[in-house]
Amino acid sequence: MTNDFKFYTELKVRYEETDAMSVVYYGKYFVFFEVARTEYLKNIGYNYVDIEKDGFYFVVAESNCKYYNPARYDDDLKIFAKIEYMRNSSFNFLYNIIKKSKNKNEPNVNIAEGNTVLVCVNNADFKPCKIPDYLRRAIQNFEGF
């Protein structure tokens, strides 16, 4: 399932991310997606601050998450991210979150998967605009499309 992802980042679940049932609160998975997105961009040579200085924002136009198993406090998670497609002013990130097994004889556990569609907008007027060429090339080179 994660074999076709070229990038992942890791994090340890913090206590504040859990709810009264001692599992990660469902809304926190979107924060995990954001962590993976920002780390993905850093990995290909860019970060949000530099892109914003160039006059662009990326706004989330759609977000989805499907939950399979609970993550709990102190779990070690791997958050896989990739860009599935890129259009003129938008792209779709896919995510897969797994819990790393603490025992090497046990398999990792699939926790959740999801996606976010981001739209590039001009930061002066928030109107959709073309994804900057330098970022488009970096994504195409990394993803191989």
Catalytic (active-site) positions? 19
Q: Can you read off the two tokens belonging to residue 94? A: 């896919």
Phi, psi of 74, deg, nearest 5: 75, 0
Residue 1 confidence (pLDDT): 61
Coil vs helix vs strand at 57: strand
Decide if 101 contacts 69 (C-beta within 8 A). no
pLDDT in tens, 13-32: 999 999 988 899 999 999 99
Decide if 115 contacts 84 (C-beta within 8 A). yes
pLDDT in tens, 95-143: 999 999 888 888 999 999 999 999 999 999 999 999 999 999 999 999 9
Euclidean distance between CA atoms 117 and 83, whole angstroms = 10
Which domains are present in the chain? 7-143 (3.10.129.10)
What is the number of residues in the chain?
Answer: 145
pLDDT in tens, 35-69: 999 999 999 999 999 999 999 999 999 999 999 99
Rounded to two decimals, what is the model's pTM?
A: 0.93
Euclidean distance between CA atoms 123 and 74, whole angstroms = 38
